[in-house]
Every structure is written in structure tokens, then in C-alpha cells.
Amino acid sequence: MFIMLNSACAAHYLVFTWIFGVCYGFVLLSSAAGAGNAADILEPGGSWTYDMHTVVLLNEKNESGKDVGFLVAGEVLVQVLWGSSDQQRLLRFEMSPQLYIKSRKAPSPDGFIPHSSNLDSIENKQFFVHWNQGKINKILLPKNEKLSIANLKKGIASLMQFQLLDSEEGNETDSSGVCKVSYTSTGPTIMKKYKTDCTSTDLPYVYNPDVLLGINVESDRTVTYEIDTSGDKIKRINSDEAHVMSLNAKENAGNKIEVHQTLLFKEQSAVNVIEGNTFDEVLERAINQERIAFTQESLVIEKENELNEVKKFSNALKDCRENLKGDLLGKLGPAKSFMKMVTSARISDKEDIAKVLTSGKNKPILHQLYDILGFAQTKDSHEAAMKSLRIERPDHEEFIERYYWALSLSAHPNPEIINDLINRYLKQSDIPRKLKETLLQTISSMAYRLSKFPEITQSSKKIMVKVEEILIHGFEHSKDADDRLIILRALKNLKSDTLIPFLLKTIKTGTLKEGSLAWKTIKTLNPSSWNGDVQKAAWRTFFQLDKVHDSSARTIACDVLLESHLSDDALKQLLLFLLHDEQRYEVKQYLWQRIKMIGETDENFNRRVADIIKSNAQLNNYHILAPKGLSTALVRRFLESPSANGSLVAIQEMDSGIVKRGTVDIVLEKNESHQDICSLGIFSGGLGSFISSEPPSDPDESATAGIELTLLGTQIRPFVFFSDQGELLGHVWSGTASEMTPAFQALALLQDHREYVRLGSGFIAELDVKGAVSFDLSGKISISLWNKNAASVVRKSAGIVVEGFSVIDTDFVRSQAEFIVSIEPKLNLETDIDFYSEAKLCMKLSQPEFIVRHNTFKIERIPGSKHRLRKVTYRKSIVPGRTYALNKKNNEMCNSISGS
Ligand SMILES: *[C@@H]1O[C@H](CO)[C@@H](O)[C@H](O)[C@H]1NC(C)=O
Ligand SMILES: *[C@@H]1O[C@H](CO)[C@@H](O)[C@H](O)[C@H]1NC(C)=O
Ligand SMILES: *[C@@H]1O[C@H](CO)[C@@H](O)[C@H](O)[C@H]1NC(C)=O
Ligand SMILES: *[C@@H]1O[C@H](CO)[C@@H](O)[C@H](O)[C@H]1NC(C)=O
């Protein structure tokens, strides 16, 4: 009996090890000839029988509630038919697995009883393995056996792929796919193998690159080998693995799969060795002895039948039609049906989809059907949609927009579809303006989303560059002012850093409006791209050093400055601006509001501001720090959880007593990642002269107002309520806008994740998570010229459902764990404006109570048998309603409006 040291554990450690038993940098070996190699354990002629025990359990992530799962147990015979001096072996295996299920009647501790299953009758013969210096490149399986038994065999064979020397890194291909492996001995006879980063590039992998809409899967795989102290056999092999999948945005929603496999030595005998010089020669003899046909494969296990059967589009719609009605949007039902229908659309052919689109029965839900097709994004779904949509038909405009919007919101853009849309844009000259704007925004958004997948940089870069060129060329060659604005807005969705020189040029030479749109685009870029040129331009714009700028351009430039890392001196310059005699006093108020807002969450910033103010006698003056104006900026937490924080950011830039630019952003944050869920913007222009006695900022501007919406970072074209004074007066007199009216409705996928995990013991788990939102934005506005007041209500409603499941499906058993989380949140923004004498504005931001449901289902069944198990847990918690305290000034004005 010899003790081998590995290189990292020098000889003198041996003594310590002997005494303290801490550093096990060695393993016991059987023969003097061996240099720590595993081949010595597999002596030719050896034959061992093991008890095999494989437990597979599925549960919720935190293992609350009872799990479901099964046990496969039986005997495994391992024989060494041949060995060479260069450590090659021919191994022969037999195994006899049986299925056990959990039962209350079963004996403890593990609670399993045998159950008949297909495993009892499917063909299962002996198999061979070519073992070469601890690695297995070939397994020879009997021809035409079912995948489920072949996979179990590969799982057993994979256990025999091992080394007995410590090693830091290497990679092995086995039943789990291609994994990084390391070996560490943890006792004189114990070797642990860690498998990490297992990849299965041959199986589908779909994910959402936005962190907060993503899924986290953590895997742990260890195999422990215990060698008999005599060094001539393996006493025990334990393979333990766990895979935990959870939602990044709600970490307690998730599933866990655990597998524990054991081979325990039972008895030893001997087998006749086959003579021969090469492996191939010996293998041929061995096969001749068995008299059956074999096929040669790798150890990687293969996917059986498509795990979940998906119905065709036309068929699936039968169950979903009712739920897809427009008046239900904003609720949960449509979100649930939407997920099902997207899955169906993805596997359906053009003809089947086209049939649904043309059927009279589906007329009332056509809008929603186009949402579904936009998210399906296959070649077939696109062709079916494009075939039925006619750009020259005004009654198709709404459908076309819904389809484009869905395309632009999908996390998985199809490059073929982007190219098709680009061609349509370039070839068609008569696209109505609204559609043209939506088309360009869609192309930009899709190009940007495609660029987020690091694995396809080449082709996505090409598309990005192409879109950028087309838009800039279009801008520079268009004589039409509105066309140019459309292009500038589309660039906001492209979010490309390389646009900066073009945008800065537009700020310098463009119109007031173009300048403020260019700033809006810069603001959407990653702040790390705001280089020195952007900083300089922001100073010039904010202080109007080069020319007069639109007040919105100035306030956005102000945001850019404040969100850059300002030096103390620069911050002081900004604060001194509060002392300026500034005609547009709202810009001053805006600056002050934003400084206070940042200070609310950034203590360091707050302290710097306080220090500057204290050290300056003029600034340190109450009156200056309460500048005139109604602009507001504030941030309020609406969610604080271990997984993510949520904030509402409400900013209003006022002009002449009217909201010129207002936004309410819903932002989720996790660590350093932000996800803009939704941003609602209100804009108005040219109304100053209409309501206020103050001089307008842009006397040529015609009266306009509308809302702007950004969903998941994608800007939707603005919805204009009126675009001149006549139209406005029409609304005022007829009261058309004073009923609650939907402005925007949509169905969208949030999470969209599917992957397959190869479990080492011979099963494939499918992990699938889909989340969907059904969204409704409605509003009303009433203006009374008589009483000189106006009131508006904007209501956002959303039904959000996330459904995730882990399933293992074989010919003999099917186990599944599933969670469904759902919420139905609403947000109301009410604004009252009184412009009778001095303008007063009162805003109320409120969120009614809503319920969070988190249900889990665990289901098990044995094909061909009556056995069915279903364990369900329903949980519900209530998020109380609340009204957000805005600021003191707002409160005072609300009191004053309601009091007068
Ligand atoms: C597991 O998670 C669920 C859902 O969040 C929770 O209700 C339950 O209390 C948790 N159980 C444990 C043991 O932490
Ligand atoms: C596996 O390891 C070998 C040798 O260490 C290396 O050449 C090869 O690139 C690795 N393969 C993978 C997929 O990492
Ligand atoms: C949420 O905010 C708190 C307080 O600012 C912070 O400590 C925590 O790390 C944040 N949580 C996440 C998930 O980002
Ligand atoms: C980010 O979150 C993960 C867990 O979600 C945590 O382990 C990590 O430390 C966090 N990083 C930072 C910078 O807070």
C-alpha cells in the first residue's frame, strides 16, 4: 500500500496530515506501479455489483411544502473485460432499474414504494464503455433502445469517468454536457469531483438580456468517490446536484431540482478477460459474444419527446378568445391567455395563423392577436401578419401599429424581420405619417434590442449601423420639419453612442424643438457615454451661452449635468445660477428641485450642496432657496424588497403655469441595474398665451398637448390630443376628452426564458419562465374656460402574471414543479389646475390596494398508469393602497384649490 502525494502537498505535510488529518492532497492507491491513476482500481477481470439509488426531487426554491419526485433503484454490474498498459479499459455494464414513488404508506426514512411503470417493460440490455485514462469518449449502446433507458445508462457510465489526482481545472464531456471539472481529495480514500459551467449548446436556450426581467439558474454538481482502503475497488459513488431557478425581480419565486445518486458496493466476483492488443479488436470480440447490434455514442444525454405539447394557434385560441377582449386589458386574464397564445404562435405555420386572422369570429380581438404575433416573431407569424395588413387601408392603421409596437417591445428580435421592415420603409413612399413614425421607432428599437445579445455581435452591429445611416441620411435630406422630428424621436430607441456627434450638431444648428429632442436622446444613452463634448454642450445649452434654447432642452441639459460626476466648482456654478435674474424662472425652480431630489437619496451629494451654500453668503439665504415656480421633481419608493427596489420618479417642468413636460417613471432597481418599466409623459406647447398673461417662450408655437409613453425602454410615438387652437377649443366645448378614454393598450411579454438542464444521472429538465403584462393607459381631461380651471386624470392599470415551471419528462415518469405569481397594480395621477388669478397646480399620485398571489403546483404522473399526484399551495398578500406625499408646496396649493 503506497501513499501518493500530489505536487501541491509537499512531503513534510504528510506528518501533519497524519496527525491532524487536514490536508488530504493525496489518495490511496492499490499498486506500486500506479502513479495516482484511476486505472489501477479497474483491474482487468474485475467484476463488481453495486446497489444503485437515484432520487429526483422537485420543490419550491426555498423547499417549503412537500416535494414531488421519484426514485429509480436497482443493481448495476460493472466488469472490466480488457485492459492495456496505457490505461485503456473495456468496461461492460448491466443494470436493472425500477421506479419507486413517494407514498404515505411507504416505510420511512425516504418514503418510497415500488410502482409499476414503462421501465419494467422497455428493452434494456448490457452496454460497453471505452475507458481511456479516466476519460470516456465512447459508449456503445444496444441499437434501438428508448432514449429514457439510454440516458440512464449514460448517467451510470458518466460516474465511471474519474481521476484520482487533485487537479485544478480541466473539462470533461459526460451526461451533463461539457463541464469544467476539478478534483480535490478530502480524505485518505475520498475524492471529490466538482462540475461547473456545464453547457449544452445543442439545446435551445432563450433568455431576456434585461437583468430585472431575467431568470437566475444556479447549479451545483459534485461527485464523491470513496475508494476501499484495500485500494482495489470503488466502495461508493455519490453524485449530488441541485439546480435552483428564480426570478431576478422576485427571488423567492422559483423552483429547485435535486438529484442524489448513489452506487454502493455490494459484492465482488470475476469475469473472463478478453485477449487482444487494441481496443477495437477486443471490442469486436466482445460484441460477437453478445450477439446484439450496438451503436456508438458520446456520454451526452439526449432530449426525449418535446416535453410540453403545444397546441396550434387556431386550436389554442378556442380557450383564449374570451380572455382576449379589449375591455379586459389591464387585468390578469388577458395576460395569462397571451402567454399561451405566444407559445402556440411560435410553433404554428403561416396558413394556420392566416386562417385565424381572416376569421370573422376574431374581429373583436384582432388588436390583441397582432400583439401576440409581434411577440411570436417567427418567419411564419410575420408573413401571416404582413399578408393580412394593408398599409393603404385606413381601417388597418390601428392593427399595423399594434403589430409594430409588439415587435418593438419583444426581447428577442428576429433579424430577418428587421431587414424586412427596413426594406418596406425604403420602398414605400406613401406611408401615412403616424405609421411611418411607428415603423421607424420599431426598427430602431428592434436593432437596439438585438444588440443586447453578446453572442451575435457581428450581424447585430451591421443592422445597427444600417439603421443609423438610414435615419441620419433621412434627417439630413428631409425638407419637412415634422419628418425630421419623427426621425429624431426614432433615434431615441436606437440608443447608440455613435450618434453623439450628430446629436450635438443638431443641438447647435437645429431648431428649438430639434434641440430639445436631441437632448432627450442624449439623456437616454448610458451616462458613461456622456463625454467631454456632451458636458460642454450641456453647459452651453443650460446657460444659453451660444444661443436661445428651448426651456426643455435646458432642463434636460441640467439633468445631464447633475447626473454626471460634477466637480465641486461646477456644482457651485450651477447653484449660483439660482441668483441669476432669469426670465424663465421655471428653469431655476427645476434646477433647485432636481438638486433636492438627488439629495434625498444621495447623502454625499446633499452634504456637498449644503457646504457650498453655507460658504456663500448670497446663496445662504432663505428666499433664494425658495425660488418662484411650480416645477417639481421627486422620487418616491413604492417597493422595497430583497430582490429589487422600485421607485416612482415624477418630474414636471412648468412653463407659464402649465405643465410643459411632465413624466412619471416607474423604475425597478437591483444592485446597480435599472429597468425602466414604464414612463408616462405629458407635454404641452403654445398654451401659454391661451391661459396665462405671461409672455410665451416660443410665440410661434401652435397649441398642442398630448402624452408620451415609454414601455420597457421603448418609446411609443406621442399621442396628440390636439395640435392647434381650433382643435383644442373643439375639445373644450364638446367635452370629448372628459370621459375616461383608453389612450394605449397592449399585451407584452416580460420574462421569456427557456432552457434545458442535463442532469448527470440521465434526465433532462426543462426550465421555462414566461411573464406577461396586459396594460391599459386611460385618461380624461376637462377644461373650463369659464371657471378658468382644468382637471385631468391619468390611470395606468396592469395585470402581470409570471409562470415558471421545471419539468422532467421521461417515458416512465413525469414530475413538474410550477409557480405562478400575479399582481394587478394601478397608478393614478390626478392634476387640478386653477388659472383664475395666479396659476395653481395640485397633483395627486396614488396607488390603490392590490393583491400579490403566489401559487405553487407540484404535479407527478406515471405514463400508462392511474397514478397522479397534485400538490397545490395558494398564497396571497395585500399591498395596501397609498397616496404619495409629494411636497409642501404642492400640498399648500391643493389646499388652496380645494378651499377656493
Ligand atoms: C418560502 O417562500 C414562500 C413564498 O414566498 C413563503 O410563503 C414561505 O414562508 C417560505 N418558506 C420558508 C421556509 O422560508
Ligand atoms: C478542454 O480542455 C482542453 C485541454 O485543457 C482544451 O484544449 C479545450 O479547449 C477545452 N475545451 C473546452 C470546451 O473548454
Ligand atoms: C434597496 O435599497 C436599499 C436602501 O437603499 C439598499 O440597501 C438595498 O441594497 C436595495 N436592494 C436592492 C436589491 O438593490
Ligand atoms: C448584487 O446582488 C447579489 C445577489 O443578488 C449579491 O450577491 C451581490 O453582492 C450584489 N452586488 C452588489 C454590488 O451589491
Task: Please give the full DSSP string across 178-189, using - where no structure is assigned.
Answer: EEEEEEEEEETT
**Position 786 pLDDT exceeds 70:** yes
Name residue 483's amino acid.
D
Q: Tell me which of 613, 629, 645 is where a domain ends.
A: 629
- Planar angle of CA 265, 268, 269, nearest 5 degrees: 155
Give residue 173 CA to ligand 2 midpoint distance, Å.
10
**Position 788 pLDDT exceeds 80:** no
Backbone torsions φ then ψ of 293, nearest 5 degrees? -90, 145
Ligand 2 close to Cβ of residue 171 (< 6 A): yes
Q: Let me know whether 446 and 463 are in one domain.
A: yes
Element of type H or E holding 267? strand 250-270
844 part of a folded domain? no
Give residue 668 CA to ligand 3 midpoint distance, Å.
11
Name residue 239's amino acid.
S
714 part of a folded domain? no
Q: Let me know whether 584 and 525 are in one domain.
A: no
165 part of a folded domain? no
- CA atoms of 161 and 765, how far apart (whole Å): 22
pLDDT tens-digit readout, 317-357: 999 999 999 889 999 999 999 999 999 999 999 999 999 99
- CA atoms of 664 and 680, how far apart (whole Å): 5
Taking CA atoms only, the protein residue closest to ligand 2 atom 10 is 171
Q: Which atom of ligand 2 is nearest to the CA of 169?
A: 5
**Coil, helix or strand at residue 265:** strand
**Nine cell digits for residue 352:** 394556420
Q: Let me know whether 429 and 571 are in one domain.
A: no
Q: Which atom of ligand 2 is nearest to the CA of 178?
A: 13
Beta strands in 691-762 (DSSP E): 704-711, 714-722, 741-759
Q: Let me know whether 543 and 577 are in one domain.
A: no
**Nine cell digits for residue 392:** 393603404
The single residue listed with the C-alpha cell 459474444 is: 289
Taking CA atoms only, the protein residue closest to ligand 1 atom 8 is 64
pLDDT tens-digit readout, 178-192: 999 999 998 888 999
pLDDT at 217: 96
**Nine cell digits for residue 264:** 454502493
User: Bridge partners of 720?
Assistant: 706
426 part of a folded domain? yes
Give residue 675 CA to ligand 4 midpoint distance, Å.
16
The single residue listed with the C-alpha cell 428599437 is: 445
Considering the entire predicted model, what is its pTM? Answer: 0.87
Tell me what the mean pLDDT of segment 595-605 comes to: 91
Q: Let me know whether 432 and 454 are in one domain.
A: yes
Q: Let me know whether 459 and 478 are in one domain.
A: yes
DSSP alpha helix (H) spans, 827-899 = 888-899
pLDDT tens-digit readout, 536-561: 999 999 999 999 999 999 999 999 99
The neighbour count for residue 785, using CB atoms within 10 Å, is 13
Q: Let me know whether 560 and 586 are in one domain.
A: no
Q: Is the peptide bond before 696 cis (omega within 30 degrees of 0)?
A: no
Q: Which atom of ligand 2 is nearest to the CA of 199?
A: 13
**Nine cell digits for residue 132:** 481511456
Closest CA to 708 of 748, 660, 751, 750: 660
Task: Give Cβ neighbours of residue 769 (< 8 Å, ≥ 6 apart).
Answer: 215, 245, 247, 751, 752, 753, 754, 802, 803, 804, 805
61 part of a folded domain? no
Return the best residue to mutate from 636, 640, 670, 672 for the ligand 3 pocket (most ligand atoms within 8 A of CB).
Answer: 640
Tell me what the mean pLDDT of segment 153-177 comes to: 93
Q: Which ligand is nearest to the CA of 172?
A: 2
Q: pLDDT band at residue 151, thresholds of 50, 70 and 90?
A: very high
Q: Let me know whether 480 and 444 are in one domain.
A: yes
Strand arrangement of the beta sheet that strand 673-685 belongs to: 632-640, 645-655, 658-670, 673-685, 704-711, 714-722
**Coil, helix or strand at residue 104:** coil
Q: Tell me which of 477, 494, 511 is where a domain ends.
A: 494
Ligand 2 close to Cβ of residue 178 (< 6 A): yes
Give me the number of domains the chain comprises.
4
Tell me what the mean pLDDT of segment 707-718 comes to: 89
Closest CA to 313 of 349, 358, 339: 349
467 part of a folded domain? yes
- CA atoms of 36 and 6, how far apart (whole Å): 9
Q: Let me know whether 480 and 342 are in one domain.
A: yes
665 part of a folded domain? no
Q: Ligand 3 site: residues with CB under 6 angstroms?
A: 640, 643-645, 669-671
Return the best residue to mutate from 171, 178, 195 for the ligand 2 pocket (most ligand atoms within 8 A of CB).
Answer: 171
pLDDT tens-digit readout, 278-321: 999 999 999 998 888 999 999 999 988 665 678 899 999 999 99
Q: Tell me which of 494, 522, 539 is where a domain ends.
A: 494
Tell me what the mean pLDDT of segment 658-686 comes to: 84
pLDDT tens-digit readout, 217-253: 999 999 999 999 888 899 999 999 999 999 999 999 9
Q: Let me know whether 525 and 583 are in one domain.
A: no
**Position 7 pLDDT exceeds 90:** no
The domain spanning residue 419 has which CATH number?
1.25.10
Q: Which ligand is nearest to the CA of 643?
A: 3
186 part of a folded domain? no
Q: Let me know whether 545 and 422 are in one domain.
A: no
Q: Which domain holds residue 586?
A: 567-629
pLDDT tens-digit readout, 110-146: 788 999 999 999 999 999 999 999 999 899 999 999 9
Q: Let me know whether 342 and 418 are in one domain.
A: yes
Taking CA atoms only, the protein residue closest to ligand 3 atom 10 is 645
**Position 387 pLDDT exceeds 90:** yes
